[in-house]
Every structure is written in C-alpha cells, then in structure tokens.
Amino acid sequence: MSDLWVLDLGILDYDAAYTFQRDVARRRISCDITEDVLLLVQHPAVVTLGRSTKPGSLLSTTEFLDAEGVQLRDVERGGDITVHEPGQLVAYPIIDLKRHTKDLHWYLRQVEASVIFALALVGIDAGRSAGQTGVWRDGRKLASIGVHAREWVTWHGVALNVENDLTTFAHVVPCGIQSVEMTTVVREAKRLSRSAPTFGEMRDAVITGFGEVFGLQVTSAPDWIGALREAHGSS
C-alpha cells in the first residue's frame, strides 16, 4: 500500500498556502516527492474565483472586500466562486492520478466520497446532489470542491464548513448556485440534536476518509516537507 503523507499547516494566509501547494505539486510531478500528499489548513477570510466563475457570482466590490479585510484571488482551479474563512477545514490533496485512475471526474467523486466517509465517522449522514459537485445534506451544502491538475497531479481541493460562521459567504453566490444554503458541521449536528465534533476530530476524520477512499496508508509527512512551509511564509 502506498502512503498518504499528511501535513497540517494550521492557519495560513491563502497566498502562502497556494505557493506552497504548487511547490509540493511540482515536486510530486518531478518525483522529488514520492508519495501522495494531503495538506490541511485554515485560511483567513478570502474569496477565490475559479475558471468557471459566472458574472454576478461576486456580490461585493473589491473596495468593499478590502474594507472588510477579505482577500480576493483569481486562481486556476475548476469551479465557480467560493469562500474560505477561519473555522473551515480546507484539504489540498496532491495526488498522482497515474497511480490511481487518470480521470478527473473519477477524482472529483473520490474527493466527495472521502468527505462523505469522514462525516459518517462523526455521525452526520451526507451525500451528493445530482449534477452539482460538492457534499450536501438535505439540500444544504457542507463542502465545496474545485481542483486543478497538471501531468495528472492534482492540487487545490475541498473546503468543508466545520465551525465557521459563514459571514464571508454574504459576499458571493456560493459556487454560482442561486439560493443555495450553506451549512456547517456544527449546524447539522445541532439539527440532529447531537454533540458536534471538535475541529480536530473533524480534521482527523477527513484524514481517515482520504486514506480509506484512495486506498492509502496515512502517515505524517517527512520533516523536510514541513520545513518547506517556512520558505512560503505564514500568517
């Protein structure tokens, strides 16, 4: 069984994390990194525009976002507009699909399945919505997914709302879907009248989910990969 090297970046500025994951992906492509990698992170408030962002998906001006302390970034991932904010768990799988299945649609379904598996571990029944990428529960969206790949190595990934307050989503039409209701793990646990998992418990469940769904042995990333983070800054 191949390994999945896991590295928790804590809270990290989006630009620093973006540069770092691209560096890890480049090293995965060149085989300087020999195993698949899962980066986990929380970001300060940021709105990102994917390749499929539609006119009208951004509801606030750049000047207003600046005044609110919300960054705006245009990135190469697939999908429409999305949001990151503290309390949301962002997972960036850097996976060589040549070792798995060379099919991005298959990969998206695997990422969804990983999060669905993780949510089941904490007692939340979630699933897919026909024709819409992401993870949902009773018509409410828990996780958004947007990916990119080069030479069949992936980066970008999935944002799971865990305990964030969702305030940054007021600036966007999430994923370009009109009238979508965003939700969090904490809110769904409350609807189920059960205790919500801690952020750390949800993180651990997501790690387990990716290992199980992709058939990889979860292990901590080597220290030298963790040391690379310092070269890309922190917040």
| pLDDT digit string, tens, across residues 6-18 | 999 999 999 999 9
Residue 25: predicted pLDDT:
97
In a 13 Å sphere around the CA of 9, the CA atoms on its Cβ side amount to 32
In the chain, the N- to C-terminal Cα span, in Å, equals 36
Assign residue 157 a region: left if phi > 0, alpha if psi is -120 to 50, beta otherwise? left
To the nearest whole percent, how much of the chain has pLDDT over 90?
A: 91
Instruction: State both tokens at 10.
Output: 């804590």
What's the Cα-to-Cα distance from 20 to each of 14, 94, 118, 120, 229, rounded to whole Å? Answer: 10, 11, 25, 30, 6
Q: What's the whole-number average pLDDT of the chain?
A: 95
To the nearest whole percent, how much of the chain has pLDDT over 70?
A: 98
pTM: 0.95
67-85: average pLDDT: 95
Quick count: other Cβ atoms within 10 Å of Cβ 132?
Answer: 11
With bands split at pLDDT 50, 70 and 90, how would you rate the model's confidence at 235?
very low
- Residue 162 Cα to chain centre, angstroms: 12
Instruction: State both tokens at 189.
Output: 């646990």
Residue 88: predicted pLDDT:
98
Question: Residue 117 pLDDT > 70, yes or no?
Answer: yes
Q: What is the pLDDT of residues 177-230, one digit of tens each?
A: 888 899 999 999 999 999 999 999 999 999 999 999 999 999 999 999 988 877
Quick count: other Cβ atoms within 10 Å of Cβ 223?
Answer: 7
Active site residue 175: yes
Residue 177: predicted pLDDT:
83
Instruction: State both tokens at 77.
Output: 């991932």
Domains of the chain, each with CATH number or no CATH: 3-232 (3.30.930.10)
Q: Which amino acid is at 19?
A: T
Q: What is the pLDDT of residues 124-160, one digit of tens each?
A: 999 999 989 999 999 999 999 999 999 999 999 999 9
Of 175, 185, 213, 221, the active-site residue reads 175
Residue 232: predicted pLDDT:
64
Residue 233: predicted pLDDT:
58
6 vs 79: which has the higher pLDDT:
6
Assign residue 159 a region: left if phi > 0, alpha if psi is -120 to 50, beta otherwise? beta
Q: What is the pLDDT of residues 166-180, one digit of tens each?
A: 999 999 998 888 888
